[in-house]
């Protein structure tokens, strides 16, 4: 497995509070963090930096997290990139939908930070 400081994580969330929080906690663990406040920014980062993991909110402006997930799972370059959804849309229907669309896991907001870190480490270890 790559050392944590060699692993790139893209955080896609329209909340700057969530981005700052996730960036701080994951950088402390040694990960390189890229952030995007919308899907357009996320595409630009993906094209340049090829993240090892994407943390994605579903409720995004203009293009939803659902649509973004669907699109990146179609692309050859990103279809195998693991995606963890981080969202308040935690009902069974939405969780089933995103897992069927190719997301690897779901973390409910408000975020339990230790739970999220454990999920990130588990996913990155499995996809080394």
Name the nearest CA neighbour of 46 among 10, 98, 82. Answer: 10
Give the domains, in start order, of the chain with CATH numbers: 4-121 (3.40.50.2300)
pLDDT for res 1: 43
Question: With 70 as the cut, is the pLDDT of residue 6 above it?
Answer: yes
**Per-residue pLDDT tens digits for 28-55:** 999 999 999 999 999 999 999 999 999 9
* pLDDT 10s digits, 72-122: 999 999 999 999 999 998 889 989 999 999 999 999 999 999 999 999 999
Please name the residues in contact with 32: beta carbons below 8 A apart, sequence gap of 6 or more: 5, 6, 7, 8, 9
Using CA atoms, how far apart are residues 58 and 6, in angstroms rounded to an integer? 27
**Six token digits for residue 110:** 């408000």
Tell me, what DSSP letter sits at residue 80? T
């Amino acid at each position: 497995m790559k050392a944590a400081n060699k692993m790139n994580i893209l955080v896609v969330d329209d909340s700057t509070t969530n981005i700052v929080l996730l960036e701080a906690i994951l950088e402390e663990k040694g990960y390189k963090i890229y952030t995007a406040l919308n899907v357009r920014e996320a595409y630009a980062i993906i094209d340049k930096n090829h993240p090892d993991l994407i943390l994605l909110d579903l409720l995004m402006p203009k293009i939803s997290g659902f649509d973004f997930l669907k699109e990146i799972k179609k692309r050859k370059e990103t279809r195998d990139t693991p995606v963890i959804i981080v969202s308040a849309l935690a009902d069974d229907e939405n969780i089933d939908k995103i897992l069927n669309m190719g997301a690897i896991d779901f973390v409910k907001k408000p975020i339990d930070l230790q739970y999220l870190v454990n999920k990130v480490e588990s996913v990155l270890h499995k996809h080394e």
